């Protein structure tokens, strides 16, 4: 019985989609465990860039079955658009894409609630993607949600109406000016529901149990990043689900004992989208260069990502709470050309130097302590062998392995699936 788990170790956007795509050939089933269309998993191959929001990143491999787990929240409108983008690729969607009946649905009024809540916060807003993720998870934990399995019941539209009416009352409570035409939004929603109801719904925990029992290999795909975890992230600037390894169990219905490998993905530097603390953030030419060379724009929102040096303190924290067994470093190519590479190895925090992640990493309380290392100038994008990597990069990798006590088994040197070096 084998489930391997792949997750991000920073604030998301680490490159999970690409690595899932690279690894899919070794697995029978790719399963999304949590999050919703606030995720943007980017894959690039054959000169084409693909961005997936809800559909697992193994969808372009004919041999793989893709499962949307119970921990995911699904927006039927966005989901339908994703399906339409797959039309040119001749994928048998009914066969290769399975949806858990226990996955919750995002209603148009969830998105409106998200917008109203964020507007009401004013300057204290958390940088929500405004996709309705938070309100959908609130309904889930509040035991009010509409689930995929409800669509098989004769009264599902009445259930929808009752929940949407409740949301409208809540929107009015916020007393903010958001313009919307609910009839128009609902018309698109119900059209999209028809597309969703054509897909294959499963009791995913039973399906995955039987798959494991028959010897199939499963790769669980997490969304967002560990530092956005609702419990262990930089709260309140976090997402609404558990993005750490534990989320794979609750998001799929698999036992902790079935998880073997935990693959942790991180960038050679650090980025963040939206609001929230970011100790190593750069506001100078180095930060601008990282953003420009790395094409650092959110795959879902299009917002420019904030950039900074690698935060090793935060990375160690993520490695430990997830029980990472193998590391994968992305975007090493972006750092080519920097004279000096900096790594944050500790924090000055309330008058002392610490090497662990404290309760708050807000700027007034803490400043990063850096170690400097020589950079490299070589273009990495055409390299295919680990032994050919510049000695400065190899020294950088070796230093990180020593500090993190976990091997770095993959180094990505470009966006395409072929630009992946195995060590």
Closest CA relative to residue 230, chosen from 381, 25, 38, 14: 38
First-to-last CA distance in the chain?
26
Q: Which position among 4, 13, 229, 333 bears the catalytic label?
A: 13
Q: Return the half-sphere exposure (C-beta side, CA atoms, 13 A cut-off) of residue 175.
A: 1
Give the C-alpha separation, 314 to 305, whole Å: 18
d(CA 407, CA 346): 21
Query: Active-site residue among 21, 41, 110, 139?
Result: 41
133-162 residues labelled b (16+ CB within 10 A) or e (exposed): bbbbbbbbeeeebbbbbbbeeeebeebbee
Assess whether the previous peptide bond of 236 is cis (omega < 30° from 0): yes
Question: Number of helices and strands (H, E) in the chain?
Answer: 12, 20
Residue at token pair 């998880």: 259
Could you count the other beta carbons within 10 Å of the beta carbon of residue 332? Answer: 25
Asked whether 294 and 376 are in contact (CB, 8 A), the reply is: no
Check if the beta carbon of residue 381 is closer than 8 Å to that of residue 419. yes
Cα gap 408→401, rounded to integer Å: 6
In sequence order, the β-bridge partners of residue 148 are none
Q: Please give the Cα distance from 316 to 345 (Å, whole number).
A: 10
Name the strand (E) or helix (H) holding 8.
strand 2-8
Measured CA to CA, the distance from residue 10 to residue 266 in angstroms comes to: 6
Find the DSSP H helices in 181-311: 182-196, 204-213, 246-252, 285-293
229 noted as active-site residue: no
Other C-beta atoms lying within 10 Å of the C-beta of residue 63 = 10
Report the alpha-carbon angle 184-190-194, nearest 5. Answer: 150
φ/ψ of 265, rounded to 5, equals -110, 135
In order, the DSSP letters of 163-185 are: HHHHHHHHHHHH-------HHHH
**What's the rounded Cα separation, in Å, for the pair 346 and 279?**
11
**Does the active-site annotation cover 53?**
no
Catalogue the active-site residues: 13, 41
């Amino acid at each position: 019985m084998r489930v391997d788990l792949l997750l991000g170790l920073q604030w998301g956007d680490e490159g999970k989609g690409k690595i899932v795509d690279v690894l899919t050939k070794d697995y029978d089933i790719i399963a999304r465990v949590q999050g919703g269309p606030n995720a943007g998993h980017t894959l690039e191959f054959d000169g084409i860039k693909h961005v997936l929001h809800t559909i697992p990143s193994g969808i372009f491999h004919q041999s793989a079955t893709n499962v949307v787990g119970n921990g995911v929240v699904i927006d039927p409108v966005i989901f339908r658009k994703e399906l339409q983008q797959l039309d040119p690729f001749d994928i048998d969607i009914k066969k290769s894409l399975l949806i858990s009946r226990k996955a919750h649905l995002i209603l148009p009024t969830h998105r409106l609630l998200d917008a109203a809540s964020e507007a009401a916060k004013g300057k204290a807003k958390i940088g929500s993607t405004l996709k309705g993720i938070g309100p959908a998870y609130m309904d889930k934990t509040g035991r009010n949600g509409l689930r995929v399995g409800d669509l098989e019941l004769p009264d599902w539209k009445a259930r929808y109406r009752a929940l949407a009416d409740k949301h409208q009352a809540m929107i009015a409570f916020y007393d903010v000016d958001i313009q919307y035409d609910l009839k128009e939004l609902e018309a698109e929603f119900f059209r999209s529901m028809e597309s969703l109801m054509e897909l294959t719904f499963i009791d995913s925990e039973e399906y995955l149990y039987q798959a494991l029992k028959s010897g199939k290999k499963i790769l669980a795909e997490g969304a967002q990043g560990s530092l956005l975890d609702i419990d262990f992230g930089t709260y309140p600037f976090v997402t609404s689900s558990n993005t750490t390894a534990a989320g794979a169990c609750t998001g799929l219905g698999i036992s902790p004992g079935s998880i073997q490998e935990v693959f942790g993905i991180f960038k050679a530097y650090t980025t963040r989208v939206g609001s929230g603390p970011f100790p190593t953030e750069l506001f100078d030419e180095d930060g601008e260069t990282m953003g420009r060379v790395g094409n650092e724009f959110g795959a879902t929102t299009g917002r420019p990502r904030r950039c900074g040096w690698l935060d090793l303190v935060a990375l160690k924290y993520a490695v430990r709470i997830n029980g990472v067994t193998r590391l994968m470093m992305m975007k090493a190519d972006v750092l080519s050309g920097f004279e000096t590479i900096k790594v944050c190895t500790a924090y000055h925090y309330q008058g002392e130097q610490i090497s662990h992640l404290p309760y708050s990493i807000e700027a007034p309380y803490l400043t990063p302590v850096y170690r400097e290392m020589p950079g490299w100038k070589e273009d990495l994008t055409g390299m295919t062998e680990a032994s050919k990597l510049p000695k400065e990069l190899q020294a950088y990798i070796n230093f990180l392995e020593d500090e993190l006590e976990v091997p770095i088994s993959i180094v990505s040197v470009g966006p395409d699936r072929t630009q992946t070096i195995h060590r």
